[in-house]
Amino acid sequence: MQEDWMIARKEGRAGRLTFNRPKALNALDESMAFTIEQALDAWRDDPEVKLVIIDAEGDRAFCAGGDIAAVYKAGRAGYPQVGAEFWRAEYRMNAKIAEYPKPIIAFMQGFVMGGGVGVGGHASHRVVGESTQIAMPETGIGLIPDVGGTLILARAPGRVGEYLGTTGNRIGAADALYAGFADIYLPEARWPEVIAQLAESGEASVIPRGFQPEYKGFLADRRPEIETIFGGKDIATIVAKLENLPTKFAAETLATLRRNSALSEECTLRLVRMTRAVPNIREALSNEFRFTLRAVEHSDFLEGVRAQIIDKDRNPQWAYSLDTLPEALVTKLLAPLPREWEIDFDA
């Protein structure tokens, strides 16, 4: 690991955190999560730091997700605890961002996926631009939307969270604002000057407001269909509804759900609804950890990572289809954890 993959420093009245791994689309590993956490801890009571700015080098990605290759390799070698420790560290950092007492401003260009949402999506001020593409694509690798993603999905309008969480579909800036993944649209050409103003003033109020995305999103127009479809009690019911709808949107959504892990989709659906009932960051992360702690040994995760990231054959052989998915396994993956296994968010 390179020490400069996550750069932490003070600049003016700001704490600065910059992803600096552009060739890997700024993928987040455990050491980078620790760097973020340690910096936030150091700046919490530092009178010189009035706010925190998180940005990234490179045009292609703010952060395209967690670096899970090491988790995969350790899991294949019989060491599932490597994944558990990675997620434990990452989730603790996610919670600190969400609960931070000072403003955190995230500038999210390009791909913002998975672990990137866990960093930028919980900031107090979430800025997107014309290149932003946000997704929680975990059901495509046999995982579930985590890093507190189920909290954002649970707070999305209507059933939009169920739709985005189970399909993993990407959304641009307009839909990110609509779904609650972002707060502010700002043309990316303005970002350097605004970051400089933030560092100089220490005031989040200098961020310009009033700009609108050039391109319209699709979620608002699709809301009636999304509400009809994704109110189903389980994935099997949702798929049955899609099979009976003659629209292009229904056909595309059905193809996506049939391509992803049925086990992950069903668990995602339940996790979003569990979090909607108790919508706070620690509850969301704790519920997600129920699945991810067990994922290496009991889910489609290893096969999904093999197919999408390791071998890249894009042909995962999921353990279960929608027709064969066992309720007992879903229940097992989402069962409460023993107290000694839970995350200590105050560590």
* pTM score above 0.85: yes
Instruction: Summarize the confidence of residues 290-301 as an average pLDDT.
Output: 96
Length of the chain, please?
347
The domain segmentation of the chain, as residue ranges, is 3-341
Residue of 89, 114, 99 whose CA lies nearest to 35: 89
What kind of architecture, by CATH, is found in domain 3-341?
A: Alpha-Beta Complex (3.90)
Q: pLDDT grade, residue 178 (50/70/90)? A: very high
pLDDT digits (tens, 9 = 90+) for 181-239: 999 999 999 999 999 999 999 999 999 999 999 999 999 999 999 999 999 999 999 99
Angle at 113 between CA 182 and CA 191, to 5 degrees: 50
Q: Rounded mean pLDDT of the chain?
A: 96
Catalytic residues, by residue number, are 66, 115, 138, 146
What are the percentages of helix, strand and coil residues in the chain, rounded to 5? 55, 10, 35
| CB neighbours of residue 212 within 10 Å | 10
Residue entry with tokens 């552009």: 22
- For residue 140, pLDDT beyond 80: yes
Are residues 116 and 26 in contact, defined by beta-carbon separation less than 8 angstroms?
Answer: yes
pLDDT confidence of 48, banded at 50, 70, 90? very high
